[in-house]
Structure 1
Amino acid sequence: MGDNDITITEQIPASKKLAEADAKSLIKAASKLYVAKGKKLSEFKLGAKPDPEAVAAMLGPTGNLRAPTIVRGKTLIVGFNEELFAELLG
C-alpha cells in the first residue's frame, strides 16, 4: 500500500477470525461492495439491510471473512484483484 501513498488506519491480524456478524457490520457502513474471488469479480450495491448474497460472497469456505478486506470511504473491497485495486486505490 505504501507504493500508492495509502495509509493503513487499522490492521487486524489473521489470527483474529472475522465471521458473518463482522461482514454484516462492514456492509452496514458501505454503499458499494466489490468481491474478488480469483479472476471473478462481483459488485453489489448495498442498501439499508445486509444482502444475504453479498454477505455470503464475503465469506470463505471456513465461514470467515476473506482477505484482504479494505474499507475506503463507503466502498468495501473483499479479496484480491490487481486491476480492481489499481482502479479504486490508484
Structure 2
Amino acid sequence: MHVVEEENAKKDPLREAGLLDLLALCDSFFVTSGKKILPYSAGGEQQELLEKITGRTGNLRAPTLRIGATLYVGYNEELYQRVLATQVDG
C-alpha cells in the first residue's frame, strides 16, 4: 500500500467545514461504534454521519483512513484486517 498523504490530527484537527470537503470526496463510509461497523453511503443522512465521525470536540475521530472513495473512521481490528488484506491482495 502506498500512502499518498498523511496528516496529524493533533496538529491540524479537521472540523466541520473540512469534514464536508472530505465527505464530498467519498461515496461510501464505514464507521466503527464499539464492536459494530456501521456502513453509510453518499446521499444518505449527512447529519447522522457527521455525528458518528466526530468526537465530543467536534473534530474528526481517529484513526481515519481514506482509500479511493471510501472513508473508514474509528478502529475495529476486524475492519482493518479486511481493508489491509484487500489492499495487499489488490
Q: Does TM, normalized by the shorter one, top 0.5?
A: yes
TM-score with structure 2 setting the length: 0.82
Shift in Å, 1:40: 2.6
**How many pairs does the alignment contain?**
84
Q: Find 2:62's aligned residue among 59, 67, 70.
A: 67
The runs of 4+ residues in structure 1 deviating greater than 2 Å are none
1:56 corresponds in structure 2 to 51
TM-score, normalization by structure 1 = 0.82
Structure 1 counterpart of 2:29: 33
Identity %: 36
The separation in 1 between residues aligned to 2:26 and 2:59, in whole angstroms, is 19
Query: AA paired with 2:64?
Result: T
How far apart, in 2, do the equivalents of 1:69 and 1:63 lie?
A: 15
- Give the residue type in structure 2 aligned to 1:15: K
Aligned-residue Cα RMSD (Å) equals 1.7
Unaligned residue ranges in structure 2 (runs of 5+): 86-90
List per-residue Cα deviations over 1:5-54 (Å, max 9, x = no partner). x222111112211111222111111110011133132110112x871111
